[in-house]
Amino acid sequence: MPRAEFISTGFYVPERVVTNDELRQWWDTSDQWIRERTGIKQRYWVEPGKQGGSDLALEATRMALERADMDASELDCIIYATLSPDYFFPGSGVYLQRKLGVFGIPALDIRNQCTGFLYGLAVADAWIRTRQYRRILLVGAEVHSTGLDFGPAGRDLGVLFGDGAGVAILGPTDADDRGVLSTHLFADGRYAELLWCESDASARFPRISHQDLDEGRQYARMQGREVFKHAVARMMESVLAALGAHGLGPGDVDLLIAHQANLRINEVVQRQLDLRDDRVYNNIDRYGNTTAATIPIAIDECVQSGRLRRGTLLVLTAFGSGFTWGSALVRW
């Protein structure tokens, strides 16, 4: 049975850099607070209304196709992870497909927030192993900046998020020494409301009202400290589950790429796993939290800088709204 391997990667962020200091025009915050509590120094935001997530995904896909020396027509399938779709429906996958001009191939949208790329990777790996599809475009793309609460209640979340897209093209390999070794996915819906966006919603009637808008229910809300604690514990557990499934331990890890939600979360995970600095990669200082896009952006940077080389044992892990979380083990 073949495994999925990464054929190529790419990422794209909008041109507009937004520094922590700039955020002070909307929120009572400071560069010092944001750096110390999150590790973020800047993020990229779209020009409002000019670019949707699928536009960012298109640029990232073009980069990955070029690096793979492939044409979009060679793709068999699109898996698109996002929590900020271009529209409520249809899913963003079909918009990306239209922009790529490859009509007919399936486009699956994944709604698992920060863990979306890993859920997508698990699906892609299963489809490749069962020979359903040979060339899968896996996307993580977000535009957060157009959905932030620029009022006082939005301060905690508003400073965290950035826009961006990262993609991977996956295909089969028969080599037994590389590829996606396994994926490990988890969820616990008891915590759904600790990080969520309440409206508009088919579970409510009306789906959205003027009162909802006045009360800011259209914005994401988070109980940050609770989410922080769960993020550390659940990512740790799932990394150990992934390693344990192969009789491995933290000492075998060449590179850990964790979801970029808060540098402090990742530093605790690094400490608890006792990993040296050269065994972890973080880039939240430059991009903020780009949710489904954080992992593919980080992977691409590691490929381009040579930190990810043939033979590297890579561990991916993520945690987010749902709660959903998971890990994947990849021999590059």
Interface contacts to ligand UT7, rule CB under 6 A: 27, 29, 33, 37-38, 114, 155-156, 159, 224-225, 227-228, 231, 261-262, 265, 289, 320
Phi, then psi, of 104 in degrees rounded to 5: 110, -35
Residue nearest to ligand UT7 as judged by C-beta position: 224
State how far the Cα of 291 lies from the Cα of 162, in Å rounded to an integer: 8
- Specify the residue, 225 or 310, whose C-beta has the smaller distance to ligand UT7: 225
Catalytic annotation on 282?
Answer: no
- Specify the residue, 35 or 135, whose C-beta has the smaller distance to ligand UT7: 35
User: What single letter denotes the amino acid at residue 125?
Assistant: D
- Specify the residue, 16 or 37, whose C-beta has the smaller distance to ligand UT7: 37
> Are the beta carbons of 327 and 237 closer than 8 angstroms?
no
State how far the Cα of 259 lies from the Cα of 122, in Å rounded to an integer: 16
- Specify the residue, 51 or 289, whose C-beta has the smaller distance to ligand UT7: 289
Question: Where are the strands (E) in 223-323, listed by range?
Answer: 255-258, 280-281, 313-320
Provide the minimum distance between the beta carbon of 116 and ligand UT7 in the complex, in angstroms, as a whole number.
11
Provide the minimum distance between the beta carbon of 177 and ligand UT7 in the complex, in angstroms, as a whole number.
33
Alpha helices in 130-261 (DSSP H): 155-158, 210-215, 224-244
Provide the minimum distance between the beta carbon of 154 and ligand UT7 in the complex, in angstroms, as a whole number.
9
Task: Out of 20, 266, 282, 289, pick the active-site residue.
Answer: 289
- The structure tokens listed for 325 are 């979380």
Provide the minimum distance between the beta carbon of 94 and ligand UT7 in the complex, in angstroms, as a whole number.
26
State how far the Cα of 231 lies from the Cα of 227, in Å rounded to an integer: 6
Catalytic annotation on 259?
Answer: yes
Q: Is 321 exposed, middle or buried (0-12, 13-18, 19+ CB in 10 A)?
A: buried
Task: Out of 20, 77, 112, 114, pick the active-site residue.
Answer: 114
Task: Out of 259, 266, 282, 302, pick the active-site residue.
Answer: 259
Catalytic annotation on 230?
Answer: no
Provide the minimum distance between the beta carbon of 289 and ligand UT7 in the complex, in angstroms, as a whole number.
5
- Specify the residue, 179 or 296, whose C-beta has the smaller distance to ligand UT7: 296
State how far the Cα of 186 lies from the Cα of 39, in Å rounded to an integer: 27
- Specify the residue, 4 or 34, whose C-beta has the smaller distance to ligand UT7: 34
Provide the minimum distance between the beta carbon of 179 and ligand UT7 in the complex, in angstroms, as a whole number.
28
The order of strands in the sheet holding 3-12 is: 3-12, 164-173, 136-142, 77-81, 107-110
The helix (run of H) or strand (run of E) holding residue 118 is helix 116-129
Sequence-ordered list of residues with C-beta below 8 angstroms from that of 215, at least 6 positions apart, any chain:
none
- The structure tokens listed for 256 are 């850990």
Question: How many Cβ atoms from other residues are within 10 Å of residue 95's Cβ?
Answer: 21
Active site residues: 114, 259, 289
